[in-house]
Amino acid sequence: MAAPSRRAATLFWAVSGVRQLGTNAARERGVRLSSLFDCQRRCVSCFAGAAFSGPRLSSASRRYGQSSALDRFLGLSQPDSSLTSHPPGVSMHRDEQDLLLVHHPNMPENPRVLRVVILGAPNAGKSTLSNQLLGRKVFPVSKKVHTTRCQALGVITEKEAQVILLDTPGLISPVKQKRHHLELSLLEDPWKSMESADLVVVLVDVSDKWTQNQLSPQLLQCLTQFSQIPSILVMNKVDCLKQKSILLELTAALTKGVVNGKKLKMRQALPSQPGTPCPSPAAEGPKTQSVGGPQRIGWPHFQEIFMLSALSQEDVKTLKQYLLAQARPGPWEFHSGVLTSQTPEEICANIIREKLLEHLPQEIPYSVQQRTVMWEEGPSGELVIEQKLLVLKESHVRILIGPKGRLISQIAQEVGRDLMDIFLCDVQLRLSVKLLR
């Protein structure tokens, strides 16, 4: 591929499109994406196709299925009034999403609610855990730090309980924020979230040998300032540990040897299986040695401990049931069909940035600017998106495009698949790379 010209306005296009396939009647009402991936796939040039067919429906069910939140909101008939166990999708239209967010919650007779703040160091797995709890990927996830740039909200609604998740940026110090010229939201949002929290989930990456046995000073300061809010410890990425016995030592260090107001027994520190809460420790017996010491930095006020891998649905299921059980009597804040407070455009921009962070080296993805130039519904009900990626250097243009355009095409296809699962509709994404002047 020839080197891009500086005078070229648009340097490369990559399109990830969804083409309509088949005539299966079971998909006419817009079934969920789990069935879509069982469909035949077609590839034409830069296109990756996987979709459902059927007539365009005048109701919102053509996008979300016949049990969609908007159909319930619009008063359309439903086969069952009980809440679905499947997470809802997000409307591709901003006005529909906004309308659903402000609509009066469809609460049961005895509603319960819980606001949960997830705190942790950068790259501890907060967004991965949030997505797994929600049952759908709405928050960006990357191996690079600071993927989450500001506070985002997710909603779990099951039966009479509603859990509101506040996915926050990783806690950083003011010095680091200034040194790296990071957004102020990275510094302030975790603290703001605590003001309305009912429960704090402290997430620790136990596979990181530098931070696995201590909580950061910023995290401890936050817990101390809001000590009246109950907190639980979630030890993440336990599957990455070669020696599981180290979990005993880490538990003692992170809790200062105290859980739920009682000294921790070594034999009770480890749950029977990952993903289950550690039993609340009993009083220390004469033959049991308490653990923890002043040389380690921990928090002695955790009510429960969970050991899991946020990538494991089974592990996270136990934590999810615990959170639902902790919900307190009170009115819901959102309609049962709300999955996130983010706008469709924000979700798309975040997913694209996630792929840039994953595929581009070093500091390049952090300097890419995104501009959405088209967001509309196509003639067959598909979502058509066009976004420009603006870069600072011509060398960055070549890196982002990749040999023969393979990298930008791969990014477009990966983003398109993720957006299909979020919006539950056909998606056609066009990405162009330009040199920022």
- Please say if the pLDDT value at position 231 is more than 60: yes
Please tell me whether residue 364 adopts helix, strand or coil conformation. Answer: helix
Q: Which residue type does 14 have? A: A
**DSSP assignment string, 93-128:** SHHHHHHHHHSPP---SS-EEEEEEEEESTTSSHHH
Which whole number is the average pLDDT over 358-365? 87
Closest CA to 128 of 310, 346, 253, 356: 310
Domain match, 248 and 153 both: yes
- What is the rounded distance in angstroms from the CA atom of residue 368 to the CA atom of residue 354? 12
Domain match, 112 and 203 both: yes
If one counts the domains in the chain, the total is 2
The sign of the dihedral angle between the CA atoms of 129, 134, 139, 142 is positive
How are strands ordered across the β-sheet holding 12-16?
12-16, 427-435, 383-391, 369-377
Q: Is residue 167 situated within a structural domain?
A: yes
**Is the pLDDT higher at 121 or at 151?**
121
- Please say if the pLDDT value at position 266 is more than 90: no
Roughly how many angstroms between the first and final C-alpha of the chain, as a whole number?
A: 23
Domain match, 242 and 358 both: no
Q: Is residue 336 situated within a structural domain?
A: no
Domain match, 324 and 422 both: no
Domain match, 366 and 234 both: no
**DSSP assignment string, 130-199:** HHHHHTS--S---SSS----S-EEEEEEETTEEEEEEE-PPP--HHHHHHTT--HHHHHHHHHHHTT-SE
Domain match, 150 and 209 both: yes
Which whole number is the average pLDDT over 276-292? 39
Q: Is residue 388 situated within a structural domain?
A: yes
What tens digit of pLDDT does each residue of 31-52 get?
333 332 333 222 222 333 323 2
Alpha helices in 201-275 (DSSP H): 217-225, 246-255
CB 344 within 8 A of CB 90: yes
What tens digit of pLDDT does each residue of 171-207 get?
544 444 344 444 444 444 556 778 888 999 999 999 9
Q: Is residue 362 situated within a structural domain?
A: yes
Average pLDDT of the residues of the chain = 75
Alpha helices in 306-402 (DSSP H): 313-326, 344-359, 364-367, 394-401
Q: Is residue 19 situated within a structural domain?
A: no
- What pLDDT sits at residue 27? 36
Please tell me whether residue 373 adopts helix, strand or coil conformation. Answer: strand
Domain match, 133 and 237 both: yes
Binning pLDDT at 50, 70 and 90, where does residue 143 land?
confident
The CATH number given to whatever domain includes residue 409 is: 3.30.300.20
Q: Is residue 134 situated within a structural domain?
A: yes
Domain match, 158 and 218 both: yes
- Please say if the pLDDT value at position 20 is more than 50: no
Binning pLDDT at 50, 70 and 90, where does residue 422 land?
very high
Domain assignment of residue 104, given as a range: 94-262+297-329
Domain match, 161 and 197 both: yes
- What is the rounded distance in angstroms from the CA atom of residue 181 to the CA atom of residue 269? 41
- What is the rounded distance in angstroms from the CA atom of residue 185 to the CA atom of residue 161? 30
Q: Is residue 140 situated within a structural domain?
A: yes
Which whole number is the average pLDDT over 243-248? 87
In the structure encoding, which two tokens stand for residue 388, read together? Answer: 């420009």
The CATH number given to whatever domain includes residue 182 is: 3.40.50.300
Q: Is residue 58 situated within a structural domain?
A: no
Domain match, 375 and 422 both: yes
Domain match, 306 and 357 both: no
- Please say if the pLDDT value at position 312 is more than 50: yes
Domain match, 116 and 213 both: yes
- Please say if the pLDDT value at position 245 is more than 60: yes
